[in-house]
Amino acid sequence: MDKKRDVHKIVTVFDILNYRSILAPYKSRIRVLFEYDAVSKKEDFTILTRDMPEYTQECLVEMLKQNVPRDKIINGLVSNNLDYSECMAAA
C-alpha cells in the first residue's frame, strides 16, 4: 500500500532521533517545528529546544534544510519522531 500523501499545508512538531552524532553536547531531545505551505512555497524549520544557543539552532536549521527532504517529514514521521540517521543514509 502506498503511504505517500498529497499535502498542501502542514504544521508539525517532531523530535529528532540519533542526534548525538550531530550535537553531542546536548543531552535533551531536539524538538523541531516544521511548517510547509505548497501554495506560498514556504518551508520553515524552528528549533523549539530552549537550552540550545541561537547560533547552534541556526546551524541545525541549515543542516535540516540541506539534508532532510520535505517528503521525508510528510511521509516518514512515525509517532512524530524523525530518525536523522535514516535521512543521512538517503542523502
How is the chain split into domains, by residue range? Answer: 9-90
Task: Give dist(CA 38, CA 46) in Å, integer.
Answer: 18
Residue 82's pLDDT band (cuts 50, 70, 90) = low
**Tens-place pLDDT, residues 8-61:** 888 888 888 755 555 555 556 788 999 999 889 899 999 998 888 888 889 889
Residue 68's pLDDT band (cuts 50, 70, 90) = confident
Written as nine digits, the cell of 15 is 523530535
Residue 13 three-state SS: strand
Q: Look-up: residue for cell 521525508?
A: 72
Name the H helices within 1-91. Answer: 54-67, 70-76, 84-90
Residue 7 three-state SS: coil
